Amino acid sequence: MATCLRYPGKVVIVTGGTGGIGLASVREFVRQGAKVVFCSQACGAERGQAIQRELQDSGCPGEAFYQVCDVTNEADIQRLILVTIERYGCLDCLVNTAADGETGTIDDVTAEDFRNHMEINVVSCLLTSKYALPYLRETRGNIINIGSLRAVIGGKNVLSYASSKGAVIAMTKALAIDESKYGVRVNCLSPGNIWIPLWEKYASQSPDPEATIREAECHQLLGRIGTAEEAALGVLYLAADGTFCTGFNLVISGGAEVGFGTKEVMDPQPGKSAAIFSRRTDFCRLDSSHSSGRCPGPTWRSETLNQLWNADSSSSRALARQRTTSPSILRDTDLANHMLRAAATFLQNQLDFGPWEAAARLTADMAAGLRYSGKVAVVTGGTSGIGLAIVKEFVLQGARVVFCAPGSEEERGRAIQKELQDSGSPGKGYFLVCDVRNEVDIKALILATIECYGRLDCLVNNAGGHPPDQTIDDVSAQEFRSLMDLNVVSCFLASKFALPYLRETRGNIINIASLVGSIGQKYAVPYVATKGAVTAMTKAMAIDESKYGVRVNSISPGNIWTPLWENLASQTANLDAAIQEGSNAQLLGRFGTSAEVAAAALYLAADGTFCTGIDLVLSGGAELGYAKKNLADPSLACEG
């Protein structure tokens, strides 16, 4: 369905597009209706042309066009941009994935080696951005640079690589500031351990590759290496849905940077079949006769799905390492991948129907463009603002959503439930009264959800409040405790009572925090403290729950136009001035919308499967660069 495509008709350039994250991004964009020009060095031309033919034959709604381009050659980069404009007439998105990752200590790396890293990983980003920006400014498009977790937390024997990726992340923020006046967004995606050719090369150079892989798996809270497809979904989010993100670094790391030391690997629950996880994208190898990149034949359907049907916690890893005659890799481009996902869904969720039926249902949902079909979510504070937008987005994507508000909002909640029922959306909305400051109410909310739907996949802790401006001198201890109960203790209790069910489904929690919990805010000490607590709680809980396969993330919105913001503005002396000041705080020069926050929540719930313990900042770039912050009254300055 054309209306379900997330990037239809957009024109995208992807450098380094014949392998790893670049190739996965090319495929994802083409699936979503984009026209993609992708490139590699001349040595990859044969592979690039084969990928172009594969995508042309796949029936995907987008287009792919391969070009040879050495990103260390300025003339090649100029030509790549011009060819794109000549062919498609515009440019909406540039994805800089081309990179090199040689390893070594400072003693082993020469100055020339270091310069080469900077040339490939940094200068190429600068030049592609420079020549693409005249066209991106016309479309108010966006740039996505691929950084690295190593640049954020460091890494052993990757000095030059980490330095170059640190430059990429910093360049992203600086360019976001400069280009905001043109409406161009610039963001970065920093993967952790992702199974790509670059990572495989790194592992193969170690004395014991298998030991290197096992060690790497233990670095993530989620106990596995991520896939290029998971990174590509992050790229798609930033391009298509992250319209209030600029200067943001989206970390996709499996929680590797959260907490101290080696992580506790996720354990299968006793009596439950483990979900199929893959440290590689080729977790199921097929005979070459059944791996053409299109719909699998009957033999594959019966044999492979039967293996998946019978897989348990001990055999699923063996299946991941299975070798067959003339093995070739089944890629995530077609119905075959949907079948694998369906079978994995069966194993993960203990469905009461076989994997072939699961495959048929899941494939139908994918054909309809549904991203969270059949999932069960609880959303607190779901009758207005961000909470209501999340409820509507989840229902639109096929989820069954229980949402709540205090008794004073009951009439409105019932009206929203009826509106959702009458809308024809594929999901369902069900309203319940719940005061999140009341432990008994929260217990009842979770139990009612389980009684109604039998499971829980996602909890969104959105309920909260923001008091009017006040200095610390005006805040009583009781007022602070009440705000903590509403904004923090409610998250704690809802998570506590939801987790027994989320562990069964390997579900996820999304806490709504705030940008000001990280950067502060004037006259809001109590509120800022509560939101800082939510962000910290998110990271701590992500560590504790990773062994159950439960992901815990937060979203920190900046200035989002909601009833809460409008109410606060109305209490100021000059409403219009307050609104103008709020708009001017963002690089993008506007407020964000609740729908943009809802898109982020959907990403974390449905697509961000290698994200845990992250804080997704939606701020329009408000926290970037220097700004006027000296609020001192000049009359108070000391004389002399």
Dump the DSSP string for 352-397.
SS-HHHHHHHHHHHHHTT-SSTT-EEEESSTTSHHHHHHHHHHHHT
pLDDT at 308: 36
pLDDT at 243: 98
Alpha-carbon distances, residue 302 vs 102, 295, 371 (angstroms): 43, 13, 26
Longest alpha-carbon distance in the chain: 90
| Catalytic-residue membership of 7 | no
- The 3-state DSSP class for residue 550 equals coil
pLDDT at 572: 86
Determine contact, residues 546/223, Cβ cutoff 8 Å: yes
pLDDT at 3: 56
For the chain, which ranges sit under pLDDT 70?
A: 1-3, 261-368, 628-640
The domains of the chain, with CATH numbers, are 7-198+227-252 (3.40.50.720), 285-367 (no CATH), 376-618 (3.40.50.720)
Number of CB atoms found within 10 A of residue 288's CB: 11
pLDDT at 628: 58
Q: Residue 18, exposed/middle/buried by CB under 10 A (0-12, 13-18, 19+)?
A: buried
Q: Which long-range contacts (CB under 8 A, 24 or more apart) does 478-484 make?
A: 479/526, 480/526, 480/529, 482/437, 483/526, 483/527, 483/530, 484/526, 484/529, 484/530, 484/533
pLDDT at 319: 32
DSSP 609: T
Number of CB atoms found within 10 A of residue 631's CB: 7
Determine contact, residues 179/186, Cβ cutoff 8 Å: yes
Alpha-carbon distances, residue 583 vs 198, 384, 465, 578, 599 (angstroms): 42, 21, 21, 9, 21
User: b/e map of 496-530 (b: 16 or more CB within 10 Å)?
Assistant: ebbbebbbbbbbbbbbbbbbbbbeeeeebbbbbeb
Catalytic residue chosen out of the listed positions 202, 527, 548, 603: 527
- Vertex 390: Cα angle to 463 and 410 (nearest 5): 55
Q: What are phi and psi of 403, to 5 degrees?
A: -125, 155
pLDDT at 269: 42
